[in-house]
Chains A and B, each alone.
Chain A
Amino acid sequence: MWRRYGDAFYTLLTLAVFGFETIALGGLSLSFLLGGATGIASTPVEGILLGVVISTASALALLGLYLLSYHFVSNLRDRWQIEQLDKWTEWWVGLALTGPGEPVDAGSGRRRLPRVAVDSVLSLLEAVKGEEGDRLKEALAGHGVDHWFLRRARAGHLTARLDAIEGLGKARLPQAFDPLLGLLHHAKPVVRRMSARAAAVTLAVLPPEPGPDSPQARFIQAIKHADLQPGVVQEALLLLETRAGPILRELLADPQLSDSLHWVALETVGRLGLADMADQVAASSDHPDPELRAASFRCLRRLGSVPETAEATLLHAVGDEVDFVRVQAAHAAAFVPAEAALPALEPRLEDASWWVRRAAAASLARLGELGVATVKRAAESHPDKAAREMAVQILLEADELTPAAARLATGVA
């Protein structure tokens, strides 16, 4: 989306130009005010004005020159980069498959890899795993790229730091895990967010270890104490891939867990479809916080299974006093046996909330023949107009009704 070179310099240049121009304008304004006694267009004021005009013209020329040069150079560089990326990718693939060979720029005698070489291996590392991936990581470490990234992630300018954190995330280097956890407490939110993602993808490839000092335990402690938005924590947990399950289990088993993290854990279990955690999820279905009750039902719905032990609570929640809890409970009720769910869902067709009516009708339509028959009956003869309309709507969406039949049923011309 954005070219990432020359932009920081452009920012500095702009800052310098406008900083200077601001001073010049300030001086000009002051001279206007002071020159009031002798007339605004007095000779000294005019001289200052001329100076400001010349400085502004110079600034404009400088900025224009930079932009034209940047445009020209970046066009060339884009083309060169594509060629170099191809060459380096070929070389890295060879290294991953058969072991080290001569680097592309071996002739230069440099130990440090050029940036384009690092970019190409980082892209490869997102796809290459296992032994081949380890070989690439060893090569990266051999060239000191890990130290270079870590140094920049800790001490560099913000743009350099963010580039380094992104690089560490792509490289998934075990030695970067703890430094990344340390950055979760950085003062700048953007650094915390990017570090959380990078730490998560790194943990995803670390071998599992037991014990309170394991990387997994350290990660849990770090996200519990870092100032991160729930959405960011959720992203990080989703990036854990197969390592997410044990961490989510540990989080949900913690009675001291904050409501925020509790909600995130429930959402993540649902999104990852960890069906074996349905019992742990169901334990939150009678939580005093309605947000957590709703999250628990939403999760069960995503898992597509409701433990028998939670059925009664869920069906009771279909009539919860909080509407968004009713919505989620009604959706999840589609995964309860039809005989038990029908009596709870049918009255909700005339719920005051449009969302509850929709969820109830949709779940009924998923309950098999019995449920569909109930919706069809509601579409034809339910005394409540809103219930009839919703039943027709759901039947249309489920292809149980044609638009023509629907028009007939609702009296639409």
Chain B
Amino acid sequence: MTRAAGPALVLALIVLLAGCGSSTSSSGGATPTSSSGNASHFLACEVLTDSTLYDKSFNEATWNGLQQAQKDFGIKIKYTTAQSPSDYQPNLVAAHAHGCDLIFAISFTYGDLVAKEAQSNPHQHYAIVDYSYSPPNQYPNVRQLVYATDQAAFQAGYLSAGMTKTGKIGTFGGQKQPPVDLFMDGYVEGANYYNHVHGTHVQVLGWDPKTQTGLFTGDFTNEAKGQTTTQTLMGQGADIILPVAGSVGLGTVAAVRAAGKGAVIWVDSDGCQTDPGDCKFFLTTIEKHMAPGAYDTVEKTLHGHFQGGLYTGTLKNGGVGIAPYHDWASKVPARLQSEVAALKPAIISGKIKISQWK
């Protein structure tokens, strides 16, 4: 062996190992309880925009719905992670090529890509979360699941404004995009409404619904950034924090744990269920019921009743809502609890117009 072969071998080995980039994982073959005909051949696929499926929040919620469907109908399910935006389109194409019967694209970011794919594969069923086309029925093979999270966030903002000890509450997002901004809009508007009702001056740091500017960490994965961002927010006075940033919010939990004070408003899936060890830090969760949405879509598609078009989850149809207070139930005054509960019918009936409280 010549001298030159040494480094060549080392480099070749490195390149070989590095070649294993993004990949897909599947889990199938669960015991079906009520297998109907072709259910065991039905494949539902979840396509992500990042690499963390178990984020205790956004990505995990849809996956929970698919897992429930797997349990109940005996279908097969699969997910695909992405390492960078350049993976998005190839992953969508691959999901179609692998024979997925239903493809869930989990993010606003997939809007244009799914539209393009849906046009070229008219017989493939797609579902996209957080994005709607106008008009919604221009792509009959795409079901668009969007959620009016500002309605539930309004309740959470009102609650936080009633619970703060410093007179300041805070919020930040992962990336600035409409579904993230919507949470923050509702949160600030709810706090403003509290100020109006009670004559207080609670401030929300990190978002201004009028100018649509505020605090963002830059992505949905950098938890260390979430932690330092939360520390800064708390140092500037906010004691209740709403992170709208997927797993970055776990950095907020870590910061609140270290500070030994304050509370977190979690998003998407009830924090006390996805992250029970940290339940005492979650004042409540602004729930976006993506799991039932995913389950329902699978069920309909499986039975041949796939419906394209738009579904909007609201307080009225139970698509959004706030979670129980769990560990905080005894700390939230009864009067505040009933005020927050009373907001729901008022929002549904239109008595309170949330966008008016910008």
Genuine A/B complex: no
Residues of B within 8 A of A (CB): none
